[in-house]
């Protein structure tokens, strides 16, 4: 098979066969064709898109490009959750222990963050002693005993995606719906998921900037999953302002704990429960989302969700005392309060810029090899629609030195628009696609 012929075929907007797609993925993994040819095919796909059949075939080939985890030794329906990413998005740390406390087997493979904050693994590693390096046999044993594990992705999982994602990032082909869908779905399927709940973000702080594009992406992933005999539910949720009030690794763990202690309401809790309810329905723990939501609320109120988080921390080597003593988390060396200079209403918050401010504090990584400051970050004291008086604290900023705090505070100041006009309330969950 000639790789150049495949490029020309897709350039001419013709459908690729199953064999041609498998040859493409096999060439990526075995590195038998140069990057410039792979990049050319990616560009042809980005321009001319792919049919549902092609997207499903690409997803299958990528899924099988490395090891596919066999989780059949775990009883129950293994239901995973994936978010397309956002600012203050701490849903995993809320819904994973909550759903596990209700009997759903939770084996969550997560990654590290590149950007404004760390990923789920970085957040958990802000807990002293917590280990995310769990061999798969031990992970299965842990889920069967305790119902939950959150671990790092194994190196041999979906190697095609790692290679293709790196190329897409530098060739302007990231924003292709078939390539995004196959990237997300292949990782989840290789990780052994029976069913998947997707949180597709939209807004200034998200990859998909408008609702229509986010719905198209969600629909593409659902159609891909259906072709592969998997059940998927997708929620399209707002990311025009931070989801949680805490942005930063240890700060986000603390906010998740506060929700599980039934001390905090708001956007993060609402989305976490909505996603968790869909997981319980797909996992056949609940008949419908209303019943599932009641179960989740019950296990917040009775403390069983918090108890499960404590079990997770302890079994993975962390210090469970952090749940009641936040001083055990890494502590920042400097902090700064940003005060309002005028009164009115918070009309809008540029979520992207809040992410930039968080990155500047040291809470995120500008490059993969960059160190991360677990104590750095931002606590927002105001959200869109809140009343503001002159002198009110808009945000607290934490970092390794006061200079970083001040620069980050200036970014936040420019990101928060205060107006005499109260803004219209925006939807938090735009669509639910099943």
Just list the catalytic residues. 82, 161, 168, 183, 187
Q: 173-185: buried (b, 16+ CB within 10 Å) or exposed (e) per residue?
A: bbebbbbbbbbbb
Beta strands in 275-392 (DSSP E): 334-339, 344-349, 377-380, 387-388
Q: How far is CA 131 from CA 114, 247, 358, in A?
A: 20, 22, 24
* Phi and psi, residue 336, nearest 5°: -150, 140
The CA-based angle 228-233-235, given to 5 degrees, is: 140
Instruction: Please state, in angstroms and as integers, the Cα–Cα distance from residue 14 to each residue in 6, 10, 11, following that order.
Output: 10, 5, 8
Nearest to 87 by CA among 108, 122, 118, 112: 118
Q: Look-up: residue for tokens 């042809």?
A: 44
Cα-Cα-Cα-Cα torsion 269, 432, 239, 122, nearest 10 degrees, comes to 60
Write a three-state SS string for 18-36: HHHHHHHHHHHHHCCCCHH
């Amino acid at each position: 098979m000639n790789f150049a012929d495949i490029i020309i075929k897709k350039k001419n907007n013709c459908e690729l066969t199953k064999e041609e797609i498998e040859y493409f993925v096999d060439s990526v993994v075995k590195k038998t064709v140069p990057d410039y040819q792979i990049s050319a095919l990616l560009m042809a796909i980005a321009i001319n898109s792919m049919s549902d059949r092609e997207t499903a075939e690409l997803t299958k080939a990528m899924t099988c490009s490395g090891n596919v985890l066999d989780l059949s030794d775990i009883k129950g329906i293994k239901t995973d959750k994936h978010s397309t990413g956002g600012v203050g998005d701490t849903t995993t740390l809320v819904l994973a222990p909550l759903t596990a406390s209700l009997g759903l087997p939770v084996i969550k493979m997560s990654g590290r963050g590149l950007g404004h904050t760390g990923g789920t693994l970085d957040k958990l590693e802000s807990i002293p002693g917590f280990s995310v390096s769990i061999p798969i046999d031990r992970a299965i044993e842990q889920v069967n005993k305790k119902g939950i594990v959150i671990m790092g992705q194994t190196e041999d999982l979906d190697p095609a995606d790692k290679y293709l994602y790196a190329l897409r990032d530098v060739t302007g082909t990231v924003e292709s719906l078939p390539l995004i869908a196959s990237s997300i779905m292949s990782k989840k399927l290789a990780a052994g998921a029976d069913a998947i709940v997707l949180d597709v973000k939209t807004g200034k702080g998200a990859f998909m900037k408008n609702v229509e594009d986010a719905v198209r992406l969600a629909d593409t992933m659902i159609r891909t999953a259906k072709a592969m005999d998997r059940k998927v539910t997708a929620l399209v949720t707002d990311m025009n302002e931070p989801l949680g009030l805490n942005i930063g690794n240890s700060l986000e763990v603390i906010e998740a704990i506060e929700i599980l202690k039934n001390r905090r309401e708001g956007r993060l809790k609402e989305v976490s429960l909505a996603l968790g309810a869909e997981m319980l329905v797909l996992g056949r723990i609940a008949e419908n989302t209303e019943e599932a939501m009641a179960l989740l609320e019950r296990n917040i109120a009775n403390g069983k969700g918090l108890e499960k988080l404590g079990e997770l921390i302890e079994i993975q080597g962390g210090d469970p005392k952090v749940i009641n003593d936040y001083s055990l988390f890494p502590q920042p060396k400097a902090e700064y309060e940003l005060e309002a200079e005028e009164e009115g209403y918070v009309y809008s918050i540029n979520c992207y810029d809040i992410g930039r401010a968080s990155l500047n504090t040291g809470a995120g990584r500008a490059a993969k090899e960059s160190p991360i400051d677990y104590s750095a970050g931002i606590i927002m004291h105001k959200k869109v629609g809140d009343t503001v008086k002159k002198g009110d604290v808009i945000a607290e900023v934490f970092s390794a030195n006061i200079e970083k705090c001040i620069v980050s505070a200036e970014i936040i100041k420019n990101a928060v628009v205060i107006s005499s006009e109260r803004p219209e309330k925006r939807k938090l969950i735009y669509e639910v696609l099943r």
